[in-house]
Amino acid sequence: MAAPLTAPATQPPAAPRVVSVDLSGLEGRQVRVAERMDSRADILPDSIRQEQDGSLTMRLRIATAYPVCRFGWFDGGYEEFEEVLSFEPGAHRDERLSSGRAPLLAVHSTWSLDDVLGVLHEPVWDRTTGAVDALCRVSGRAELDGLRRDILARIVTNTSAGYRVYQYRDVTKKGDPRRRLLAIDWEIRECSLVPIGADPTSSTRGAEQREPRAEINATVWTPPSTTRERPMDPELETPAQPAAPSTPATTPAPGARAGAAPVTPTAPTQAPSPDAAALERERQRNIRARLTQARIELGSPLALRLLDGGASTGEATAAILDEVTRRDAAAPDTSAAHAVETGAGEVDTVLRQIEDVLVSRTMRPLLAPTEARELETRLQGNPFVHRRLLAIGESYLERVHGMRGLDRLSPMDLATQVLQHRQGSPLTTRSPGFHVTSDFASVLANVANKGLQKAYSLTPDTYSDFVMFGTLPDFKAAKRVNLGDAPRLVRKPEGGEVSFGAVSDKGENVQLLTYARGIGISRELMVNDDLSAFSRFPRAFGVSSKQLIADLVYAILTGNAALADGIALFHASHGNLVTGAGNSLSAAGIAALSNVRKLARAQTGIAPGNNETAFFLNIDLMHLRVPEGLETAAQQLVAGIQPQQVTNVNPFSGVFRSVRAEPRLGANSQIAFYMFADPAIMDTIEVDFLEGEQGPVIESRMSWTTEGVEMKCRLDVGVAATEHRGVYKNEGTT
């Protein structure tokens, strides 16, 4: 991975350069503006062409002369101004764009070479209407197949040119609502495919205004007599020197060697006056800056009193702080309403879009055809489809938390911010011992839970057919009560009274136990865009959860523990165990199955009270489980045949609903086999989950030691034999 490209908070002015505009008599000042500004661009219709090498070529409208609102640092705060790009000859620095080195990027991202989607070349300038087009070639590498299809289908259509302005000319007219600056020295550095552009000439401009991500100094040329209510930042107010009248602005300095940078136009320097008037201007400038930062109108009574009353900067600061405190105390608490509005609006939309992209990348093989089609529909127009995981996290911080300047962070620091920020609760103020999961980490956990449930439900097992599933409200031991038979009906003599009988019962205990294992989602995983580990984690735990339940179920059968009556589950006293020679499934065959069925037919229920006898249950056995070594023999015994003689009829053909081999049984005995009643009719083995959880779940929390997210797969399950009359064993003795 290439080293991330970062920019300092403020960069020095660019090298002097001759411009084609006459700057005589103008005064140059420095203003801080966004380093990476963007303008709305678009893919020109009918210009897209698929090349034989798999790449894609198209012509882009990169920039136009349409005015766009920007922000600059004026007088201690950001001020909105209107920017117009000049298309006069010499206004644009053509070297980068004409050389074919200007890249096509993914949403202005410069984290690595993977963000480079293609290259721009062959620019065409229309200086009459004010527009520039360029031919673009999108790379043919395999990972961009989806992007190329979206471009051909006109799903991805918006582009945005990243450029830098070195010099402006102030062309503000009297009555204009804001400053109007003409970019007379600017350079296109790259073009990007984006969800929403900035210039409304071709499509609707995004409503969201983004503050500068990094700042540079640009020169603004203004008439010396021009004054505005909001002067520029005093730290940058040292005027540049305008061109001398005797030297044309477009002529290099005399004696300059060929190829050397031309000299910036100069003008007579006016030395600052250290008199009282200068000090007064400085005082008012500082007070205006503080008023603007506190969002207090310059025409308010407080502002007029501070500006006109001679208050010092310190006195004004104290008065402004008092006003801010009073205003905040009197303002109604709208945090709850704002949280509801945000939660129901953009935040939910962004998190849902991120979740859809992660589901698409990690769970697509697990989705049913209908689910896959619904996901594809939702992904159309999703701005995160072709973005890396860290770039998705950066956009999440910008759109959900309103954070700016994230491109100044290293990839590891950015990953930390993504994993730790929560809407309305920044984790930088968390208390010791208090673990809070960020919104983005919650999205990861939600996707992991979906993958876990999918993998769990799709993992085959051999026990679901003959066990009963239930829930328990807590972790206390619960008793499953089985009622005995109703008292036998007896003849009532004429005029005699109805006699009353009793109902007996028995019960078995079942209790939930917790099984869990965890892994960590580190910052490195996000930086490396490693979703493979993230996708394997829920699938593996979904499979292991099924395996754990199978271990518990078959351990009951092979362990043959005692029930509540003190007798082993399989015992002659329970009438569910076949022993003795001649019961081998492979040798005795039908006779071995028949011996088990006879026990089930003769099984009796729980006898009523008053010394009454129990009823016969005449149980049908519907499921057969054998060790892996008897699978073929079992399949042969239940197969349907067309016999020629009555003695050749297979009485067990079509009787069983399921016949399965289970290696856990073979690990205990290679000759014993088991038969089960329908669990809907007769209790067998019960598998219980905690109420509200029908299987494993994933929980997450912030890690204090690894600076990432810890994810834990937890399964609360209890398995117990609740009735011996529904389960039968044949020891399979030869």
Short-list 355, 353, 359, CA closest to 538: 359
Other Cβ atoms less than 10 A from the Cβ of 59: the count is 18
In this structure, the strands spanning 131-138 and 56-64 are: antiparallel
CA-CA distances (angstroms) from residue 14 to 104, 214, 220, 340?
24, 15, 13, 46
Per the CB < 8 A criterion, the answer to whether 62 and 133 are in contact is: yes
Q: Residue 217 has what DSSP assignment? A: E
User: What SS3 string covers 173-214?
Assistant: CCCCCCEEEEEEEEEEEEEEECCCCCCCCCCCCCCCCCCCCC
What is the structure's pLDDT at 425? 41
The token pair at 240 is 């540049």
Residue 128, pLDDT score? 85
- Whether the predicted pLDDT of 710 surpasses 80: no
Strand order in the sheet with 658-661: 577-578, 727-730, 673-677, 621-626, 658-661
DSSP letters along 574-614, please?
Answer: GT-EE-SSS--TTTTTHHHHHHHHHHHHT-B-PPPSTTPPP
Q: What share of the chain is helix, strand, coil (3-state, %, to 5)?
A: 30, 25, 45
Element (H, E) at 79: strand 77-85
Distance of alpha carbon 481 from alpha carbon 394, whole angstroms: 57
Question: What's the rounded Cα separation, in Å, for the pair 660 and 628?
Answer: 9
Checking if the pLDDT of 344 tops 50, the result is no
Tokens (6 digits) for 534: 């993230």
At 716, is the pLDDT very low, low, confident or very high (cuts 50, 70, 90)? very high
pLDDT digits (tens, 9 = 90+) for 73-91: 665 556 778 888 999 888 8
How is the chain split into domains, by residue range?
10-245, 280-326
Which segments within 289-423 are labelled E, that is strand?
Answer: none
Measured distance CA(194)–CA(174) in Å, rounded: 36
- Could you tell me if 398 and 210 are in contact, meaning their C-beta atoms sit under 8 angstroms apart? yes
13-17, 478-482, 562-566: range with lowest mean pLDDT: 13-17
Higher per-residue pLDDT: 227 or 418: 418
Three-state SS at 67: coil
DSSP state of 562: B
**Which residue is associated with the tokens 């197969």?**
639
Instruction: Look over the chain and give the mean of its residue pLDDT values, rounded to a whole number.
Output: 75
* Phi–psi pair at 365, nearest 5 degrees: -65, -20
Parallel, antiparallel or unpaired: strands 158-170 and 179-193: antiparallel
AA identity, residue 1: M
Predicted pLDDT of residue 659: 95
Which residues partner with 160 through β-bridges?
A: 40, 192
pTM (two decimals): 0.49
Q: Which residue matches tokens 């009560």? A: 481
The proportion of the chain whose per-residue pLDDT surpasses 70, expressed as a percent, equals 72
The CA distance from 632 to 661, in Å, is 9
Tell me: the pLDDT tens digits for 435-456?
A: 334 567 777 778 888 888 888 8
Computed on alpha carbons and rounded to an integer, the radius of gyration of the chain in Å comes to: 40
Residue 729 near residue 578, CB atoms below 8 Å:
yes
Residue 668 corresponds to which tokens in the numbers above? 């205990």
